[in-house]
Structure formats: C-alpha cells, structure tokens
C-alpha cells in the first residue's frame, strides 16, 4: 500500500515564508540605511547579496508548497524566526554614555583605535636608536664614494621632498580648516578623521579655534572639575564594538548640559601632557545627527 500526503506542504510553506520575510526585511533595512545601527557601511553590498539570496531561496522552495508531504517537520523551520525577530525589534535606545562607562578619558584622543599611550612612553631605548661605529663608518664611506652628480641629484630630491611634505601638511579628507584665521569647523562627516588627526599631531593645531558637535560624557576616570568629554561612538565592525571617540573638554562656570545631551562646542585647542584638550568658550544645544555613529574604517 502506498501512502500519500494530503493537502498543502505546510513545511515548505513555512520555510518559504521565513526566507521571504527575512529577505524583504533585510533589504528594507539596507536600502533605508537602518542597518547602520547594527554594522558599518562597508557591509552594505554583503547585506544586499544576502537579501537577494534569501528571496531566491524563497522562490526555489516555493515550488514545493503544492507537493503534499506525508509528515511535515515544521518545528525545524522555526529557527529561521530568530533572525526575523532580531530585525523586526529595533535595538533599544540605550543612552550613549552607558555604552562607554569603562573607558578612561586618556583614550579619547588617541589615534586609530585609542591606544592611550603617551608620547614619552614610545621613546626607543638607546640600544635601538644609536648606530654602532662600524655601521656609521660604512654609511659615511658610502656617501664619500658617490659621484658629485649623484650627490647633487640626491640633494635636489631632498629639497623636493621637503616641499612636497609642506604641501601635504594636512592629510586628505579633512575639511573646515582655515590656516590664516586658525580656525577648524568640523562637520559630522569629518568628526572621525579630525579627532584622529588631533590625537596624532596635537601640537600642529595648538591655539586653533575649533567648533565641533558631540554628546556629553561625564563618567571619566580621574575627572577634573569643570571637565567632560565631547564624544561620538565609533563603530569599527559592528554594534558590539562601539567605543567613544572625541576630546576632553574644559569649561568655565556651570555646565547646563546633562550627560548624553548633544551640544556644539566652540573653543581653543590646547596641548596638555601630550594630548589635545578643548577649552570651551561657547556651548549650544544641538540636534542628534541622522547617522549617530562614526565609522573610522569606511
């Protein structure tokens, strides 16, 4: 006797619906930009590819819906509901400051990831920097044996390199600099590269008037009186590795803004202990940017 299933293939129906819903939701999050709450912009092409793949699987599996199956195993398809629920329920609006409670203020202006290493801690030992007499004699003899024309060409190259370095004093991609007026106006898009530049070359901008926007973070280690951090959260890969990026800011008088409030600060940049510190002269309330996070690697 041959057993035949009856009706619609419930297992194929549930599986196809899960693929279809997940693909549509993922594509919608990607096209609207809502995916930036989860991952960095460089993941966009991969998310679009995954969305197309989900829709393709839904179509391929859909042809089995009208093929009855004697015994359906619907429960195994329920695992697909987990990613659907993760996308359907938006991430909780946790206060930004609560994400960075364990971060010390010394990391806020460190370049490229916030190592927090002070300049004096990177000095090489004498054994690493001093050449031996034999090495010195070798290079000196090598220079003496160069023809005069070669020496002149080498000197010309050095002069050209020096001129090029002056022309490239400001890294590409940084906007808002007025060297004559000694002012820097930092836009939302340039927040990350400018903070990295301040952490790498703070002395270059000592005395400049800086205008920048961020949110107030007060829970600093070794916090001084009349001091807070003006930061934004940087995402290196996904929301699990959010970390603060910004400047320690000192102000006079009473601080009217509360923690997590977005403000625009105008002040003078000063270098203290090798770090850039913003001496606030003017503070105004500001709107949270459409893209709350910054993406250093994008």
65 and 178 assigned to the same domain: no
| Statement: residue 141 has pLDDT above 70 | no
Residue 260 CB contacts under 8 Å (≥ 6 apart), including other chains: 95, 96, 97, 215, 216, 217
193 and 216 assigned to the same domain: yes
Q: How many CB atoms lie within 10 A of CB 184?
A: 22
Which CATH number goes with the domain that contains 280?
2.40.50.140
**How many CA atoms lie within 13 Å of 155's alpha carbon, on the beta-carbon side?**
8
Average pLDDT over residues 40-63: 90
Q: So what's the pLDDT on residue 148?
A: 52
112 and 228 assigned to the same domain: yes
71: left (phi over 0), alpha (psi -120 to 50) or beta: beta
| Statement: residue 264 has pLDDT above 60 | yes
User: What sign results for the dihedral spanned by CA atoms 29, 30, 32, 35?
Assistant: positive
Domain final residue, candidates 56, 91, 126: 91
Q: So what's the pLDDT on residue 179?
A: 92
Closest to 118 in 3D by CA, of 275, 269, 277, 278: 275
Residue labelled with tokens 């989900």: 54
> 3-12, 101-110, 157-166, 175-184: which has the highest mean pLDDT?
175-184
Domain assignment present for residue 76? The answer is yes
222 and 76 assigned to the same domain: no
Residue 278 CB contacts under 8 Å (≥ 6 apart), including other chains: 210, 212, 230, 247, 248, 249, 250, 265, 267, 268, 269, 270
Question: How far apart are the C-alpha atoms of 223 and 269, rounded to whole Å?
Answer: 19
Q: What percent of the chain has a predicted confidence (pLDDT) above 90?
A: 38
pLDDT digits (tens, 9 = 90+) for 84-116: 887 887 665 545 554 444 333 334 544 433 333
Domain assignment present for residue 132? The answer is no
Question: How far apart are the C-alpha atoms of 71 and 10, rounded to whole Å?
Answer: 9
74 and 110 assigned to the same domain: no
- With bands split at pLDDT 50, 70 and 90, how would you rate the model's confidence at 149? low
Look at residue 72 and give its three-state secondary structure: coil
- With bands split at pLDDT 50, 70 and 90, how would you rate the model's confidence at 251? very high
Q: So what's the pLDDT on residue 209?
A: 97
Number of domains the chain contains: 2
Q: So what's the pLDDT on residue 77?
A: 73
Q: So what's the pLDDT on residue 120?
A: 38
107 and 58 assigned to the same domain: no
CA 289 distance to own-chain centroid: 15
For residues 31-41, one letter each, b for 16 or more C-beta atoms within 10 angstroms of the residue's C-beta and e for the rest, the string is eeeebbebbbe
> 130-134, 153-157, 165-169: which has the highest mean pLDDT?
153-157
Domain assignment present for residue 274? The answer is yes
36 and 113 assigned to the same domain: no
38 and 85 assigned to the same domain: yes
Domain assignment present for residue 261? The answer is yes
205 and 75 assigned to the same domain: no
pLDDT digits (tens, 9 = 90+) for 176-192: 999 999 999 999 989 99
Instruction: State the chain's mean pLDDT as an integer.
Output: 76
175: left (phi over 0), alpha (psi -120 to 50) or beta: beta
Residue 151 phi/psi, 5-degree rounding, is: -65, -40
pLDDT digits (tens, 9 = 90+) for 216-240: 998 887 778 889 999 999 988 887 7
111 and 26 assigned to the same domain: no
Question: How far apart are the C-alpha atoms of 147 and 6, rounded to whole Å?
Answer: 95
204 and 278 assigned to the same domain: yes
H runs (alpha helix) in 186-298: 191-200
Q: Residue 234's beta-bridge partner residues?
A: 243, 294
Q: So what's the pLDDT on residue 96?
A: 52
66 and 81 assigned to the same domain: yes
Average pLDDT over residues 19-37: 89
- The residue with greater pLDDT, 123 or 292, is 292
Question: How far apart are the C-alpha atoms of 89 and 101, rounded to whole Å?
Answer: 25
- Domain extent for 60: 10-91
| Statement: residue 139 has pLDDT above 50 | no
């Amino acid at each position: 006797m041959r057993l035949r299933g009856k009706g619609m293939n419930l297992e194929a129906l549930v599986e196809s619906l899960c693929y279809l819903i997940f693909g549509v939701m993922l594509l919608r999050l990607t096209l609207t930009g809502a995916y930036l709450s989860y991952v960095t912009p460089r993941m966009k092409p991969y998310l679009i590819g995954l969305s197309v793949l989900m829709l393709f699987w839904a179509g391929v599996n859909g042809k089995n819906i009208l093929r009855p199956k004697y015994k359906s195993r619907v429960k195994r398809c329920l695992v697909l509901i987990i990613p659907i629920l993760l996308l359907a329920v938006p991430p909780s609006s946790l206060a930004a400051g609560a994400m960075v409670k364990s971060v010390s203020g010394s990391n806020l202006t460190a370049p490229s990831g916030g190592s927090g290493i002070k300049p004096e801690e990177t000095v090489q030992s004498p054994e690493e920097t001093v050449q031996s007499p034999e090495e010195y004699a070798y290079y000196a003899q090598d220079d003496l044996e160069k023809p005069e024309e070669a020496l002149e060409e080498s000197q010309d190259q050095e002069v050209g390199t020096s001129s090029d370095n002056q022309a490239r004093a400001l890294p590409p991609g940084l906007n808002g600099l007025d060297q004559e007026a000694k002012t820097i106006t930092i836009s939302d898009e340039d927040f990350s590269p400018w903070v990295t530049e301040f952490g790498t070359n703070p002395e270059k901008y000592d005395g400049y008037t800086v205008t920048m926007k961020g949110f107030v973070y007060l829970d600093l280690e070794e916090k001084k009186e009349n001091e807070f951090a003006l930061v934004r959260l940087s995402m290196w890969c996904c929301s699990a590795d959010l970390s603060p990026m910004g400047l320690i800011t000192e102000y006079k008088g009473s601080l009217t803004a509360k923690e997590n409030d977005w403000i625009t600060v105008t002040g003078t940049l000063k270098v203290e202990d090798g770090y850039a510190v913003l001496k606030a002269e003017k503070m105004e309330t500001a709107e949270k940017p459409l893209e709350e996070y910054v993406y250093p690697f994008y």
